Amino acid sequence: MSTLDQSYVDNGSFKPDLFKGKVAFVTGGAGTICRVQVEALVLLGANAVILGRNVEKTEKAAAEIQQLRKGSKVLGLGGVDVRDVHSLKKAVDTTVSVLGRIDFVIAGAAGNFLSDFNHLSSNAFKSVVSIDLLGSFNTAKATFEAVRKSKGAYLFVSATLHYYGVPMQAHVGAAKAGVDALSNALAVELGPIGIRSNCIAPGIIGGTEGFDRLASGEANLHERIPLQRFGATKDIADATVYLFSPAASYVSGTIEVVDGAAWHLGAFGASVYPKLLIQQNSSEDVKL
């Protein structure tokens, strides 16, 4: 079920048909955050392709998003693994064949779970880095020729977990730090040929899969956020629209943090430190 509807255009900050004629290519597009990013782009005139490993979920999400705007085209390509650049290249070829071009790329496929270092296996660490970081590189690599032709833009979905030491998130923090570095390098290398690259770093976003897994059991967590509320997926969608819009034509190599200023206080990790870590690190069940 879609989060946004026509009221996003009628009552929102952005003009209708802002992205008319544009095409977005989005990994993880059936997930809670990336899906709403796609909804916003489609409502504002873009066509899109969303990619994921789960065929049924991806195709269902695409069909629902397509209903948001009359005349829109939204493809759902399941069975795509961002860890395999050839899998992504096939999806790119299908996108260009059906939709004609690629203007905007969102690298949003990600994996996460809570684990302290003591119980985080090398395999688990590698899995997250492969999806988040290698997957982001592969997405940029596979779409490069199409993005070069359109003088388009990349947007990598990052996080704030590497801005300070967040317990239970060493694997994700390390991967997202790499994503930021990748985006910065692309902004510098590809800027001379007209391509922009930025990151968006969501904070604690309510109603998402990540929130349910990582933060839903924390009492009064919103009180530790300076703006005193959790983020909404619409907050991420709005920032996404801005970064792809002509208003951001001179914005590249930046990290747009959307977290209510929470990262300045290290709000997320505070509740599990230090009692839980002492308990976890006392265990002799070390994972290799």
> Which residues participate in catalysis according to the annotation?
158, 176
CA separation for the pair 181, 162 (Å, rounded): 12
- Token pair in block for residue 145: 């020729």
> Count of alpha carbons within 13 Å of 79, Cβ hemisphere only?
2
Return the closest-CA partner of residue 131 out of 176, 184, 94, 170.
176
231 forms beta bridges with 205
Neighbours of 144 (CB within 10 A): 18
Question: Residue 157 corresponds to which amino acid?
Answer: V
- Beta sheet of 255-258, edge-to-edge order: 74-77, 47-51, 23-27, 104-107, 153-157, 196-202, 255-258
Residue 83 DSSP label: T
Neighbours of 208 (CB within 10 A): 23
Beta strand 104-107 pairing with 255-258? unpaired
CA separation for the pair 93, 22 (Å, rounded): 16
Neighbours of 93 (CB within 10 A): 12
Q: Where would I find the beta strands (DSSP E) of the chain? A: 23-27, 47-51, 74-77, 104-107, 153-157, 196-202, 255-258
- Token pair in block for residue 127: 């899995």
**In the chain, what is the straight-line distance between the N-terminal and C-terminal CA atoms, in Å?**
40
